[in-house]
Amino acid sequence: MLFPTATFAIFFMLVLPLSWLLMPRGERWRGFIIAASFVFYAGWDWRFCFLLAFSILWNQLFALAIHAREDARARKWLLAGALSGNLVLLAYFKYVGFFITSTNNLFALVGVDVPLEARSVILPVGISFFTFMAIAYVVDVYRGDFAPAGLGKFAAYLSFFPHLVAGPIVRPGELIPQFDSPRDPRYVDTSRAFFLIGTGLFMKVVIANHLASNIVDQVFGAPNQHSALEVLVGIYAYGVQIYADFFGYTNIAIGIALLLGFHFPQNFDAPYSATSIQDFWRRWHMTLSRWLRDYLYIPLGGNRGGSLFTYRNLMLTMLIGGLWHGAGWTFVAWGAIHGTALVGERWWRERPGYVERPSTAWRRAWQRFLTFQVVCLAWIFFRSDSFSDAWELIARLFTAWGESSELVTGGVLLAIAVGIGSQYLPRRLPLLVMARFSRLPVPAQALVLSVALLAVHAMGPEGVAPFIYFRF
């Protein structure tokens, strides 16, 4: 069930009033929202509802067992059991084909024929996201940062449909406490919710889909058939497409949750205005960045143990983060580029005699330009189907100038400019727009929303493509 569809609109128009009617009755509300979330998830494939239910029961049982034990060794074994169950499921559905193919290729290099047959396994939508949330819950209970919630609250937390299939990755302490007291509809920030949904729809349906259908899919689908200019613009276009697609989805998700009375953490903060790769990861998919920091980088040792161990931990975190995004070596290469850049930046700052230069407008502009180029270089591997396609794209940048560039149109350049330029708007502008919208009479608000939806529908391509992050 996609957000920008009539099916979801009908679903949400039924869920929203019933949710508020049942809100004062905590257990009944939780039962209703869990059922609604499973109906939402069944819209993709009803069979995977059993997988979601299993994840809920598995992690709740282990969280309760960990909390009940005082023996440190027993708690560690229970934590290992909980994590193993989550990771085995994730590995089976997401990586079994990748591991078999990689094993076959490795043995083929030494002339050994291994009769391992890659199996075609359907990837459950959103499995990476709700698995990471489940792991956060169990680990927080183990660390003593969070007491186990009741089964109903945990089930509502893990299955809550606004974040279920593509995030943001909401931590237990950020959402479960909100279930403890009924939300008050009088204090719902509807202006912010509608602004988030409206901007999300625009970024997804208009910007992301336009770039995908008018240049990105063609360039990455057949790299050797396009000019250097088309390839260059196509790479930048993909950088904007994936931002607009994911930023748009999370804006819609945050807005929908807000209409239901719940607050999700922000997931993006103008990442293409970053002045370094470290700054980029403070702004891009921030809920994943914090998850990787708190549940992977710090347990690996973080900054402890000296520079070499810190570099190792940074690289491992980014390599695993790359593999999390997709079962392919191109995703590992994407992670390696970011990891190398993070290590390089840290080494540069830690070298003897380093002195931080004063920040000037020209210096910041140069840093932003370089950071964006590194990010887009990594996007080449992230989007390409194979290394050969990625190298072909890079080669075309140096060998195919002067050829016809029909895909580089005014509409494509405008969409790229809007996607990047929107990240340099004054931070107060959205607040001013929301404040003015909130002061309008209800009929005027309805008219503005109707006009905005019609404009998005008119400017968007035919049909709605699935969100990119659904497959991660």
As averages over each run of 10 residues, the pLDDT of the chain (472 residues) reads 82 94 90 96 90 96 95 94 93 78 69 62 83 96 94 96 89 93 84 89 91 94 92 96 94 94 94 96 94 93 88 95 88 96 92 83 93 97 93 92 88 95 88 81 81 79 68 64
pLDDT of residue 217: 93
- pTM metric for this prediction: 0.91
Token pair recorded at residue 25 = 């009755």
Q: How far is CA 449 from CA 125, 201, 245, 453, in A?
A: 30, 12, 21, 6
The H-assigned helical ranges of 125-267 are 127-143, 151-159, 172-175, 190-201, 209-211, 217-221, 228-259
Token pair recorded at residue 379 = 């996007």
pLDDT of residue 35: 97
Closest CA to 314 of 346, 290, 272: 346
Q: Please state, in angstroms and rounded to a whole number, the distance separating the CA atoms of residues 263 and 11.
A: 21
Type of residue numbered 286:
M
Residues, the chain, total? Answer: 472
pLDDT of residue 400: 82
Q: Please state, in angstroms and rounded to a whole number, the distance separating the CA atoms of residues 148 and 306.
A: 36
pLDDT of residue 441: 82
Of the listed 210, 226, 285, 325, which one is catalytic?
325
Domain ranges of the chain: 6-187, 201-467
Contacts of 431 (CB under 8 A, 6+ apart): none
Catalytic residue check, 457: no
Q: Please state, in angstroms and rounded to a whole number, the distance separating the CA atoms of residues 372 and 273.
A: 8
pLDDT of residue 92: 85
pLDDT of residue 148: 94
Token pair recorded at residue 161 = 């449909």
Closest CA to 272 of 470, 418, 434: 418
pLDDT of residue 112: 66
pLDDT of residue 95: 79
Closest CA to 164 of 84, 86, 257: 257
